[in-house]
Amino acid sequence: MFIDLSLNPAKTAVEIVRFIKNTVHNAGFSKVVVGLSGGIDSAVSAALALRALGASNVYVGLFPYGELNKQAVEDAKLIIGQLGIPPSNVALIDIKPLVDVIYSSSEARSSRPASPAGRQARTINIGSLRKGNIMVRMRMIQLFDLSKKFNALVLGTENKTEHLLGYFTRFGDEASDIEPIRHLYKTQVKQLAQYLGIPEKIIKKAPTAGMWQGQTDEGEFSFTYEEADRILYLFVDKQKTEEEIMTAGVSRKGVKKVLDRIRANEFKHEVPYVV
């Protein structure tokens, strides 16, 4: 079964730039603010926003947790320099003191460890997961505060792969006002990044949410983004059954892992539940 995830990057860039420009202006704004992680998704989102609105109308926030995200900050600065974002439009905020206060407070109130949410969390240290979620939500709080300060919309950076897998923190990194690349699979974001001239170092680095030392997306998944994209494309876009996907040259184990993760995180797309 032929799986084609190639795109026309020039055409795609034009479409997204038009989308950003029209959406921002129709909402009564002229500026956006984006959380720059030093990764490919936020780099592509920022680059597209620059094309749509101009460098003076794009603000970025860098939110390291102490020394944990030191390299990510350097990578983010590399992107800022390449894109030509003015220094006055850059906010660097260390979230460690705020995160530690919240985490230590909740630890003091806890008499026993919380149970992991979702089947895939069972192999992850629950303390690290809880603290990581606090970090992600604190970045969201800072980002929306900056949006109020600069009278700007929050530009999201989520791709389609993450969204379908439920690989996000509720009320955290998925919170935004506008999502320019959520319709693109991770492998397609890479194609667009190459077209936009994003540094090769950023394109090739292992994707990470920066939640703890050594954490990577694919390490948590136990499968690669490339594998996930092929399976998701067949399952979601082509509406193929699990059995049909397994005959498309994709490993049975990979199919099971991807679809299990979708099912385990399905509730994230359904909450809040209402009567």
151 in the Ramachandran plot: left (φ > 0), alpha (ψ -120 to 50) or beta?
A: left
Q: What pLDDT does residue 116 have?
A: 42
Ordered by start, the domain boundaries in the chain are 9-210
* φ, ψ at 114 (rounded to 5°): -75, 155
pLDDT digits (tens, 9 = 90+) for 164-198: 999 999 999 999 999 999 999 999 999 999 999 99
d(CA 246, CA 59): 45
Question: For 9-210, which CATH superfamily applies?
Answer: HUPs (3.40.50.620)
Give the pair of three-digit tokens for residue 241: 């059954």
CA atoms within 13 A of residue 233's CA, in its CB half-sphere: 19
**Which amino acid makes up residue 119?**
R
Q: What pLDDT does residue 122 have?
A: 43
Lowest-pLDDT choice from 53-62, 89-98, 116-125: 116-125
d(CA 54, CA 50): 5
pLDDT at 107 over 80: no
Exposed e or buried b per residue across 58-94, where buried means at least 16 C-beta atoms within 10 angstroms of its C-beta: bbbbbbbbeeebeebbebbebbbeebebeeebebebe
Q: What pLDDT does residue 111 have?
A: 45
For the whole model, what pTM was predicted? 0.91
d(CA 237, CA 229): 11
d(CA 183, CA 233): 12
Most confidently modeled of 11-20, 99-108, 110-119? 11-20
Task: State mean pLDDT over 111-138.
Answer: 67
Q: What pLDDT does residue 109 have?
A: 54
pLDDT at 121 over 60: no
pLDDT at 92 over 70: yes
pLDDT at 258 over 70: yes
Give the pair of three-digit tokens for residue 231: 């399976």
Average pLDDT, the chain: 91
Give the pair of three-digit tokens for residue 23: 């959406």
Q: What pLDDT does residue 37 have?
A: 94
**Which amino acid makes up residue 16?**
I
